[in-house]
Structure 1
Amino acid sequence: MKAYPMDLREKIVKAHIQEKISIRKVAIKFDVSKSLVQKLVKQQKLDGNLQPKQRGKPQSSHLRNAEVELRELVAENHDATIVELCELFAMKTGNWVSRSAMCRSLQKLGLNRKKKHCKVAKQQLQESKSLE
């Protein structure tokens, strides 16, 4: 549901505070809930404004400032899976992250999880054995 417009918020608070109308009567007059009127009056008294508060939970990740740690983990454990990297990160920093968060962070850093280098190394090893 969208936030109520600012002019309606101001009218509700003005009706209660300046015109000394009870909260119940204000709620009936503007066809809103009693709890909304209480919330707006409290917000005006505490914050001094009636701006709608930001919705949703702020997104933050333990991986946001852990670029150095991630690069070290991948360098030390180049053949580790995403799940193993999550476990290693948790042991190293004490913060658990999900597989999807780890995958997104690795992609942002440009750390490719495809193991092409392992295949190339295996092929070179097989070729050197076959030449012997």
Structure 2
Amino acid sequence: MQPYSLDLRTRVVVALDQPSSRQAAVAERFGVSVACIKKLLRHARETGSLAPKPASGGRARYLDTAAQAWLVAYVGQQADVTLAELNQAWQAQGGRPIGQTCLWRVLDEQELRRKKKYARPRA
């Protein structure tokens, strides 16, 4: 979900500065919730700005770059390895247990496809 635009934030605060304005009426007028207005006012009071907070970036990666490089190199050496076999090899070399989806995402980002045999027409 995207943050509200700076223009909308400014219009809400200007509307709240009008005499005898109520938060509920301003919220209804601009199509936002009263909780949103309260958070906006608190954010403006704490930071002095109406600009939204920067994006946090999401969760950190489970595998660091060295681990990802090891996985890619291993698949480069043994191209026909399955995800289950790759997971076992990862754990055997001292890595912590990880899901196959995590492995698949690393290989997909490197464009290493799992299908090794091409489709052939039936006889």
Coarse TM-score class (shorter-chain normalised): 0.5 to 0.7
TM-score normalised by L of structure 1: 0.53
* Structure 2 unaligned regions, length at least 5: 118-123
| Partners of 2:24 and 2:34 within 8 A in 1 | yes
Question: Over aligned residue pairs, what C-alpha RMSD do you find?
Answer: 4.0
Give the structure 1 partner of residue 120 of structure 2. none
Q: Percent identical across equivalent pairs?
A: 27
Q: Which moved more, 1:38-47 or 1:19-28?
A: 19-28
Give the structure 2 partner of residue 96 of structure 1. 98
Bigger Rg over Cα: 1
TM-score normalised by L of structure 2: 0.56
CA distance in structure 2 between the aligned counterparts of 1:39 and 1:114, rounded to whole angstroms: 53
Q: How many residues align?
A: 113
Alignment of 1:18-97 (within 5 A): 18-19=17-18, 21-52=21-52, 58=58, 60-65=60-65, 66-71=67-72, 73-74=74-75, 80-90=81-91, 92-94=94-96, 96-97=98-99
Letter in 1 for 2:96: G
CA distance in structure 2 between the aligned counterparts of 1:3 and 1:61, rounded to whole angstroms: 24
CA distance in structure 1 between the aligned counterparts of 2:48 and 2:55, rounded to whole angstroms: 19
